[in-house]
Structure 1
Amino acid sequence: MLIHFSQGGRIDMEEKVVTSRPKGGVVRLRFDRLPSLLVKEFGTERKAGWWVLSGDDPGPLAKLGPDPYSEEFAEFMLHGSDTGRLHPLLRDQRRVAGVGRGYTDDILHRARLSPFRSLSSLSDDERARLLATIRGVLGEGLEEERRRRVGGLPAKVGDHWIVHKRSGTPCPVCGADLRRVSFESHEITYCPSCQTGGKILADRRMSRLLK
């Protein structure tokens, strides 16, 4: 069985037998002697899913990129020549598995890199710092999930993110206001002081609204 959480998917452990389907419910797995597992998806996108596959069928995993902790990914980050922007690169599941939007914002903020820079533009030190930051932020996120109480969910999904979706609030490092770049399906949060040398990145969607 393969479960894809997408952006807002979470697992809740149910000690008591529940038959109703909650809002955002994707699938409930029941076991004879263990608590049930309920997969839920928060938000409105509804992209989470589940598959039952035969042993030799990779299903959606066939197009999945390398694990962030793998040597393959390290080689790409340290020596790759990709010219696309870092933010969509890290979100692309074909390039690296499991990062996503929220962690990408936090990773680039901690690494002090503009989301609009490219991998090919980074120095050797910046590449090494970015790779270490990716692994560090993801590791901290995993530990945060492990600390959740059995049967409990955070008050808000992603409440442990540092900058993601916190535009307009002070940067936790320098105190400057966090800014955002809005797109049709998502937004990027960044700190101009820490990441772009004070430059405000163009927000084309907001510019169109002001016309």
Structure 2
Amino acid sequence: MPELPEVEALAGFLRDHAVGAVIGRIDIAALSAVKTFDPPITAVQGADITDSRRFGKFLGIRAGELWLITHLSRGGWLRWVDEPSPTPPKPGGKSPLALRIHLFTPDATTPAIDLTEAGTKKRLAVYLVRDPQEVPGIARLGPDALDLTAETLGGILDGTSSRLKTVLADQNLIAGIGNAYSDEILHTAKLSPFAAAKSLPAQDRERLLDAIHATLTDAIARSVGQDAARLKGEKRSGLRVHARTGLPCPVCGDTIREVSYADKSFQYCPTCQTGGRVLADRRLSRLVK
């Protein structure tokens, strides 16, 4: 799933490549992806693209007086296509293409922006709105992770009974961090994913805030300027614990462990984060029962 650094990089990519272009035809291949009907998606045809911005993990394109907002969810992605097919895709086909935005650029080229989604669970969402706050997910967003201060983070931690892993990935509390970067932040901060947020000592809170800023700004620095097609690989190459179950921790050499749930998992280093204690894997615990 694209998180804050990748969506920030995609927004920058679109500012460099799409701003100044005029939207031509819009092809909808997955009707379920379009979540709004007023104004209709065709309302942006003929509009100039003037900006692209990130809202948490949402990606926005400003076209005239409207905003085309996308949440890529777990399997979604954005592709820049220099020479798109002129033939409209068939709705409901097996292609991962969900929506294609044809463009006319100032240099007389006709590229397209493709929104695609891999996998069988179709969660990619596209909204056309007059104000980004009309998108329910954006309206509920907590403060952006890059804007957190010690005071803001302290208020978030004090106001919840959840564990740190849950707090970091809850968009209503902190916007922009997902499963992967929450693992990386907790590893950098040397904190257990299961630590109680409310009772976190002051020195650990300071370390957590530093880790949030350092992890995300480093990932942005590696991602911004990359071609959209290379961002996934750039993200994977920079991860130290997430999706590295069974591999050695790059800090201490201990084996990276995993805790699994029904449809997701997270990774951590016992030596760096839990004092050597191996956390119970909920999936394995159910099998033993």
Cα distance, 1:158–1:5 mapped onto 2, change above 3 Å: farther
Aligned length: 210
Task: Select the structure that is richer in strand.
Answer: 2
Q: Deviations over 1:16-58 (max 9, x none)?
A: 1235588433322221116322222345543221100123752
Give 1:64's aligned residue: 141
Contact in 2 for aligned 1:102/1:158 (Cα 8 Å): no
- Matched AA of 1:117: A
Which of 51, 55, 59 is residue 131 of structure 2 equivalent to? Answer: 55
The alpha carbon displacement at 1:201 in A equals 0.6
Q: For 1:188, what is the secondary structure of its paired residue?
A: strand
Are residues 1:170 and 2:170 paired?
A: no
**Identity fraction in percent:** 36
Quote the residue 2:112 is aligned against. 36
Instruction: Show CA shifts across 1:99-135 (max 9, x none).
Output: 0101111110111000000222222221111112112
Q: Report SS of the residue matched to 1:94.
A: coil
Question: Tell me, which stretches of 5 or more residues in structure 2 are unaligned?
Answer: 1-67
Name 1:145's counterpart in structure 2. Answer: 223
2:84 to 17, 20, 25: 17
Q: CA RMSD in A?
A: 2.5
SS in 2 for 1:10: strand
Stretches of structure 1 that go unaligned for 5 or more consecutive residues are: none
Aligned residues of 1:8 and 1:43 also touching (Cα < 8 A) = yes
Cα distance in 1 for partners of 2:267, 2:177 equals 15
TM-score by length of 1: 0.87
* Structure with greater Cα Rg: 2
Contact 1:167 1:177 in 2 (8 A): yes
RCO higher in structure (CA 8 A, sep ≥6): 2
Paired residues for 1:21-170 under 5 Å = 23-33=95-105, 35-55=111-131, 58-60=134-136, 61-71=138-148, 74-79=150-155, 80-81=157-158, 82-149=160-227, 151-152=229-230, 154=232, 158-170=236-248
Distance 1:163 1:151, change over 3 A: closer
Match of 2:35 in 1: none
**Residues in 1 aligned to 2:182 and 2:209: alpha-carbon distance in whole angstroms:** 12
In structure 2, do the counterparts of structure 1 residues 163 and 43 end up closer, same or farther at CA, with 3 Å as the change threshold?
farther
Match of 1:5 in 2: 72
Once the two structures are superposed, residues 84-111 of structure 1 have per-residue CA deviations (whole angstroms, 9 ceiling, x without a partner) of 1011111111111110101111110111
> Is the Cα contact below 8 Å between 1:12 and 1:153 reproduced in 2?
no
SS at match of 2:187: helix
For 2:76, give the aligned amino acid. Answer: G
In the aligned structure 2, how far is the partner of 1:78 from the partner of 1:141?
24
Name the CA distance, whole Å, in 2 between partners of 1:75 and 1:177: 35
1:142 CA displacement: 2.3
Encode CA deviations 1:144-180: one digit per residue, 9 max, x unaligned.
3324335556459744322111111101110000001
Specify whether residues 169 and 124 from structure 1 end up closer, same or farther in structure 2 by C-alpha distance, changes over 3 A only. Answer: same
The residue matched to 1:168 in structure 2 has which SS? coil
The 3 A distance-change label for structure 1 pair 152 and 70 is closer
Mark the CA change 1:7 to 1:151 in structure 2 (over 3 Å): closer, same or farther. closer
